[in-house]
Amino acid sequence: MKTQVAIIGAGPSGLLLGQLLARQGIDNIIVERVTGEYVLGRIRAGVLEQGFVDLVREAGVSERMDREGEIHEGFELAFNNRRVRIDMKQLTGGDTVMVYGQTEITKDLMEARAAAGLQTIYQADNVTLHDVKSKTPSVTYEINGVKHHLECDYIAGCDGFHGVSRQTIPQDVRTEYERIYPFGWLGLLSDTPPVSKELIYCKHERGFALASLRSASRSRYYIQVPLSDKVEDWSDDDFWAEFKKRLPANTAKNLVTGPSIEKSIAPLRSFVCEPMQYGNLFLVGDAAHIVPPTGAKGLNLAASDVSALYKILTRVFKENDKSCIAQYSEIALRRVWHGERFSWWMTNMLHNFEGLSINGADDRTFEKFMASELDYYTGYEAGRRVIAQQYVGLPYEELE
């Protein structure tokens, strides 16, 4: 088999890239390790930057997102019995975010791909990338033990943190930056009306909590938990009792509880692999970088990678101009590091590190610095503008 671009992974990165390339007439095949149903079973992001929304519209897959997605003009930070609203629209001169679950975006992209008759190979085992530095890279994989060979011009590694693509870049070529946080997020999804119309990030002495949502009838809530906790340690009732304690009192009294339809614990880490390209292999999204979800950047950084690579490959195939290929990693990493820093900053400001710390020691001085950081930035319009500008997303960079 042959294609112009082989895409590894049918998560949001791979599907969005595949859709954008196909609309430019650039042939692509996606090779995915699991089933489509399994991909859709992952409950992850919920907040989309404007740049992401625009890209989905450009991909021609925005009809349900524009119909069912909720535009959010602000969110709240709750701490020390105070609530500070970050008025994104006012502070950024009109920018907002959209609340629309990653699962929904993935479903819309999957349906669009199938409707266009574009090829996605699911349940591919032993996916291996070959000759990525040559002019004839290729991908091999097995279906029910039968080996297949896919020739291509370029490979987009959209296969997430645990994928094969990043590992294909030789260790002595890769530089990996990592910070692992000493706690995780226990997330719960429920078909209950959200406790607040806008997101509330809560810093509490018992630990961080986030009140988010998917729609007017579906809520997405998180609480900080120790790394040693297992999801089976937490009954729904235990979650609701703890979540209620961490919400502002005048909000907690409105909390509607109900059975969880999903519950899971996500570890928190900051991670970046440099470079994000090697020969004709390009790393996209979680394959190259991970952020703690406190800044709602994970999925959104994947989108800006997709945007950069889509523009480059369009110039290569439509204008026969390969001069821009070398720009990918530099362009992508500039925005990735801004997202990494913001996510690290929000995580440090809003979580309880008492008795914990990045370097293992109980660093109460660090706690005092971060409490002052939160108080300072929320206490001044200029500080709130800094938060707002990064939350709505910094501009995407154009190719030279």
Q: Give the interface with ligand FAS as residue ranges (CB under 6 A).
A: 8-14, 31-34, 39, 44-45, 102, 124, 127, 158-160, 162-164, 266, 285-286, 293, 296-299, 302
What is the DSSP annotation of 176-242? EEEEEEEEEEEEEEESS--S-SS-EEE--TT--EEEEEEETTEEEEEEEEETT--GGG--HHHHHHH
Least separation in angstroms between CB 34 and ligand PHB = 21
Task: Determine the Cα–Cα distance for residues 63 and 170; give it in Å rounded to an integer.
Answer: 42
Indicate if the alpha-carbon torsion angle 13, 19, 24, 28 is positive or negative. positive
Least separation in angstroms between CB 298 and ligand FAS = 3
Among 212, 280, 304, 314, contact with ligand PHB (rule: CB under 6 A): 212
Least separation in angstroms between CB 295 and ligand FAS = 8
Nearer to ligand PHB, 92 or 294 (CB): 294
Task: Determine the Cα–Cα distance for residues 346 and 250; give it in Å rounded to an integer.
Answer: 24
Nearer to ligand PHB, 42 or 245 (CB): 42
From 145-153, 190-198, 293-301, 364-372, span contacting ligand PHB (CB under 6 A): 293-301
Among 14, 36, 46, 137, contact with ligand PHB (rule: CB under 6 A): 46
| 3-state DSSP assignment of residue 305 | helix
Task: Determine the Cα–Cα distance for residues 270 and 289; give it in Å rounded to an integer.
Answer: 8
Active site residues: 72, 201, 293, 297, 391
- Picked from ligand PHB, ligand FAS, none, the partner binding residue 84 (CB below 5 to 8 A depending on kind) is none
Residue 121 and residue 68 in contact, taking contact as beta carbons nearer than 8 Å: no
For the beta carbon of residue 238, count every other beta carbon within 10 angstroms.
11
| 3-state DSSP assignment of residue 279 | coil
Residue 296 touches ligand PHB, criterion: CB under 6 A: yes
Residue 346 and residue 321 in contact, taking contact as beta carbons nearer than 8 Å: no
Residue ranges in 220-249 that form contacts with ligand PHB under rule CB under 6 A = 220
Residue 203 touches ligand PHB, criterion: CB under 6 A: no
Indicate if the alpha-carbon torsion angle 244, 98, 315, 333 is positive or negative. negative
Residue 45 touches ligand PHB, criterion: CB under 6 A: yes
Least separation in angstroms between CB 16 and ligand FAS = 8
| 3-state DSSP assignment of residue 281 | strand
- Picked from ligand FAS, ligand PHB, none, the partner binding residue 294 (CB below 5 to 8 A depending on kind) is ligand PHB
The residues that touch ligand PHB, with contacts defined as CB under 6 A, are: 45-47, 199, 210, 212, 220, 293-294, 296
